Amino acid sequence: MEIKMVDVSKIRPDPHNPRKGHFNQEDLQNMALTYHTHSVIQPIEIDEKNTIIIGELRWRAAQIAGLKQIPVIYKKGLSKYERLERQLIENIHRQKVDLADCRDELKTLLMSINKVSTGGRPASVSILAKKLGISTPYLCDILGLDNASDSIKKALDNKEISTHHAIHIQHAPKEIQSGLLKLSKTGTTERDIREIKNKLKEFPEPEQRKEELERIIQRKEQHEYEFNKDLEIAKGKREPEQIIEIESDYDKRLLDKYYNIKNDVFGIVADHIKKFKNDKNKKTAIRVLWEIYYYTEKELRKLGEIKEVEV
């Protein structure tokens, strides 16, 4: 690996770099001050046409510092996919570029891996994650943001919310995604949004409700056979010989659990409202609290219908 000194003026940036020319000016100035004293220590990589592969930040800082030459390593014969891969790795791990801003480039690399991979998309995602040095679930979440609502993608692109905010909102029930987006814009932490999302996703999905109903009916039929009389399914306490006594079994605990979910979520949002000094943000959070209230009440009513149905 030969390092050469090349005139700064002969080097040009890559217009297709995933970073898209976004550089923190403070970082540039600080790096330039360092170069005044120590020059460029870490060489940049360029191709046979003197176009930068990785190291554009260092090249720009060298220009500000007034350096005439900088150390470079020539990387010749790279395919466009190999080039893009190196740029993404540099941007993610050295320059801390938000991976959500590179979704198009990630899809391009994924398509190139798909052409040679025999394991389908899941295997290709795993291969790409390993190449980039990130976890497969996180890469799946990033790629999945393409399926987010337009309002979530717009807020993410405008830097109104973070990537982690967007991921948690997208994984929340659709009925409250809009509310969580509003909360995120008021400064609600990623941790709080994640906690609310996790709590609300504990409500059973329709297929789970169907399985629970079938399980309760089976228990009813078993009890009818044992007691040799008709029984009803109901919520609350009755005479043991008249109904299946839910208070003493899993079904009652399940119902209590879902009521506790609602209370926990309310507690998270209510505590957050107390922290707001801005009245506008406080009003937004209160409106979202009502949205969550209506959603949880609807979910609990669905659960109640299962518990109280007569067969």
Question: pLDDT tens digits, residue range 72-117?
Answer: 999 988 988 889 889 888 888 776 677 787 888 888 888 888 776 6
Give the pLDDT of residue 10: 95
The stretch 46-71 carries a mean pLDDT of 91
Question: Which CATH number does 3-79+87-93 carry?
Answer: 3.90.1530.30
Q: Are 293 and 266 in contact (CB under 8 A)?
A: yes
Give the pLDDT of residue 308: 40
Domain ranges of the chain: 3-79+87-93, 98-146, 206-308
C-alpha to C-alpha distance for 147 and 82, rounded to whole angstroms: 27
How confident is the prediction for the chain on average, in pLDDT? 78
Give the pLDDT of residue 246: 44
Give the pLDDT of residue 181: 93
Q: Which long-range contacts (CB under 8 A, 24 or more apart) does 231-238 make?
A: 232/310, 232/311, 233/307, 233/308, 233/309, 233/310, 233/311, 234/307, 234/308, 235/304, 235/307, 235/308
Give the residue ranges of DSSP H helices in 10-119.
25-38, 56-65, 80-93, 103-116
Question: pLDDT tens digits, residue range 185-230?
Answer: 888 888 888 988 888 777 766 666 666 666 666 666 666 566 555 5
Give the pLDDT of residue 245: 43
Burial of 26 (0-12, 13-18, 19+ CB in 10 A): exposed
Instruction: Give the pLDDT band of residue 311 (cuts 50, 70, 90).
Output: very low
The stretch 227-241 carries a mean pLDDT of 49
- pLDDT higher than threshold 60 for residue 12: yes
The stretch 12-21 carries a mean pLDDT of 81
Give the pLDDT of residue 46: 93
Measure CA 189 to chain center: 13
Give the pLDDT of residue 235: 47
Give the pLDDT of residue 250: 58
